[in-house]
A and B are shown apart, each in its own frame.
Chain A
Amino acid sequence: DAMVIQNPRYQVTQFGKPVTLSCSQTLNHNVMYWYQQKSSQAPKLLFHYYDKDFNNEADTPDNFQSRRPNTSFCFLDIRSPGLGDAAMYLCATSSLQPGSYNEQFFGPGTRLTVL
């Protein structure tokens, strides 16, 4: 089935130790997003790619970086995780095809724990 896949589902890292979260999609969507969601809060957009064009939210910390080597894959790099970065990280995709609902499809998320 076409879907958005995130790996790993659970990630534990140490304070300050770089970590990379992975997202892949089989939907061939041109837009990919990374969200951070903390407990009982709405997802917060970190950045998104429209094709290869990277769009950073103004309040996304420099500690967060992203790469999209091709249409299918997108990575979230956290260079020096702090305790405040512990959260669920959600990857999503959408398509901007004419006539579409521009619907957003989410992956299952990666739960990041920082020790």
Chain B
Amino acid sequence: KNQVEQSPQSLIILEGKNCTLQCNYTVSPFSNLRWYKQDTGRGPVSLTIMTFSENTKSNGRYTATLDADTKQSSLHITASQLSDSASYICVVGTSGTYKYIFGTGTRLKVLA
């Protein structure tokens, strides 16, 4: 069964600290993996997207890694800001279909 699991479910950190969110997937055939940020009451906004051949991609303070062999991805947030408080969703796309498998997200709270 195609699944995407994220950990931790929720996380609280102090402003300025770094954090890493995890995503494990069992999706086949794999096409790509993307990380989204979703603010409360808003639609998801894409942070990074990686294909099978890419193992790291950065977007400002966000750096995503992908290990296609172990089927794991991580999202590292550097020097967190209050505005980073949101849900972060890992989504895996499948080859040959138009469907995406969503993780349940990690809720991040950054405190001053």
Q: Would A31 and B98 count as touching, CB distance under 8 A?
A: yes
Given the complex of chains A and B, what is the CA–CA distance between A108 and B104 in angstroms? 18
Specify which chain B residues have a CB less than 8 angstroms from the CB of A109 in the assembled complex.
Answer: 41-43
Contacts A101-B32, A103-B46, A103-B49: A42 and B89 contacting too (C-beta < 8 A)? yes
Q: Give the interface residue-count category, chain A.
A: 20 to 34
Q: Would B98 and A106 count as touching, CB distance under 8 A?
A: no
Q: Name A's interface SS.
A: strand
The proximity string for A residues 30-60 relative to B, scoring 1 for CB distances below 8 Å and 0 otherwise, is 0101000000111101001010000100000
Q: How many residues of B contact A (CB 8 A)?
A: 23
Q: How far is the CB of A92 from chain B (nearest CB, A)?
A: 8
Q: Would A108 and B42 count as touching, CB distance under 8 A?
A: yes
Task: Considering the complex, give the chain B residue whose CB is closest to the CB of A44.
Answer: B102
A86: Cβ under 8 A from any B Cβ = no
B contact residues vs A (CB 8 Å cutoff):
31-32, 34, 36, 41-46, 49, 51, 89, 91, 93, 98-100, 102-105, 107
